[in-house]
Amino acid sequence: MIEFEVDGLPSAQGSKTAVTVGGKARVIDKNPKSLKTWRDAVEKAARAAVPAEGGYGPHIPVLVQMVFRMPRGKTVKRGLPTTSPDLDKILRSTNDAMTKAGVFHDDAQIVESAERKRYALPHETPGVRVRVSRIEEGETP
C-alpha cells in the first residue's frame, strides 16, 4: 500500500482554452499556475511514498482512495463544499501527478476508487490524503 498526504489547495485540471502563439494554435490549461503548484506538491509527496522497489507496474489493478480537504470561507454555513473545483477535475490533476511520480504506470490501472471532498476542520490545512492499494484478481468489493 502507498499512502501519503499533501498540504495545499487542490487545483482542477480539465478546463482548457485555445490561444494563438506565433501564428500557431495551442491549447492550455485555464489555471496553469495553481495547477502546476498542486501537481508538483502531489508528485513530490507521492514520489517520497513510493517504495524503493517502485510503484504498481503496468496492468496491476489498483484501488485509489482520496479525501480532499477544502478551505471553508468565513461566511460559509453549508456542511459540504458544493462549489468549485469539481471533484472529477481535482481527481484528474492528482491522478496525473501520481502517474508522473511512479505510484502506478498509468491511471487506467485504477479499477476502483473512493473519493470525497469536504471542508478542512479548524486544526487541518487544505490538501488531500491518498491511499493506493493493489486489488487482487478475482477480488470483489
Q: What is the pTM of this model?
A: 0.86
CA neighbours within 13 Å on the CB side: how many for 91?
15
Give the pLDDT of residue 56: 97
Q: Per the structure block, which three cell numbers stand in for 117? A: 471532498
Query: Could you tell me which residue, 52 or 20, shows the higher pLDDT?
Result: 52
Domains and CATH numbers, the chain: 2-134 (3.30.1330.70)
pLDDT band at 72 (very low <50, low <70, confident <90, very high): very high
pLDDT band at 30 (very low <50, low <70, confident <90, very high): low
Give the pLDDT of residue 113: 97
Give the pLDDT of residue 123: 96
Give the pLDDT of residue 13: 84
- Given a contact cutoff of 8 angstroms between Cβ atoms, the answer to whether 82 and 131 are in contact is no
- Given a contact cutoff of 8 angstroms between Cβ atoms, the answer to whether 16 and 30 are in contact is yes
Give the pLDDT of residue 130: 98
Does 64 have pLDDT greater than 70? Answer: yes
